[in-house]
């Protein structure tokens, strides 16, 4: 891992402790997670205890200490989405990707997450893929979304 990128981020934020969350977001945007080596570099340059930085990283759900997939899939299992078939969609996603919520596929292409609300209950069940919402979802539609992403990756036109 290059310390150059972490140094560039710290310089951009003028090594301000107040900017720690922004620094961590920039690091995660680049690496898709927060690598330990990068966090050690941040601690050193900001003259902070590494445990403080880990505390921030684990407090906020938007940060991950584990590598994430290229595509992030988030399925809502809140009340409205649950009663409209959310659990069935989750079963299909788990079967198709061969992972559990909170995990990433071995090829690092997909990460699967579940949440209690995405805030768009009227169009539930809802699945969000790479910050794009897919409403009125069902297991067949979910399968098609994943297949389409796999085709894009392999260069096959749909």
pLDDT in tens, 3-55: 788 999 999 999 899 999 999 999 998 888 999 999 999 999 999 999 999 99
pLDDT band, residue 158 (cuts 50/70/90):
very low
**Alpha carbon separation from 74 to 10, 86, 118, 130, 154 (Å, rounded):** 30, 11, 9, 9, 23
Element of type H or E holding 129: strand 127-129
Give the whole-angstrom CA distance, residue 117 versus residue 36: 30
CATH 3.40.50.720 fits 71-154, yes or no: no
DSSP 8-state assignment for residue 101: T
pLDDT reported for residue 1: 59
Give the whole-angstrom CA distance, residue 12 versus residue 67: 24
Each domain of the chain, given as residue ranges in start order, spans: 3-59, 71-154
Tokens 């977001």 belong to which residue? 25
pLDDT band, residue 157 (cuts 50/70/90):
low
């Amino acid at each position: 891992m290059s310390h150059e990128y972490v140094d560039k981020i710290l310089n951009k934020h003028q090594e301000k402790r107040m900017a720690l969350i922004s620094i961590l977001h920039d690091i995660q945007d680049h690496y898709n997670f927060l690598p330990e080596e990068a966090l050690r570099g941040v601690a050193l340059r900001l003259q902070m205890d590494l445990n403080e930085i880990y505390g921030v990283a684990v407090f906020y759900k938007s940060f991950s200490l584990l590598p994430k997939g290229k595509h992030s899939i988030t399925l809502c299992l809140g009340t409205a989405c649950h009663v409209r078939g959310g659990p069935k969609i989750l079963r299909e996603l788990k079967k198709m990707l061969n992972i559990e919520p909170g995990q990433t596929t071995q090829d690092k292409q997909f990460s699967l997450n579940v949440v209690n609300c995405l805030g768009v209950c009227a169009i539930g069940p809802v699945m969000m893929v790479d910050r794009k919402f897919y409403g009125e979802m069902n297991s067949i539609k979910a399968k098609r979304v994943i297949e389409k992403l796999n085709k894009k990756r392999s260069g096959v036109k749909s």
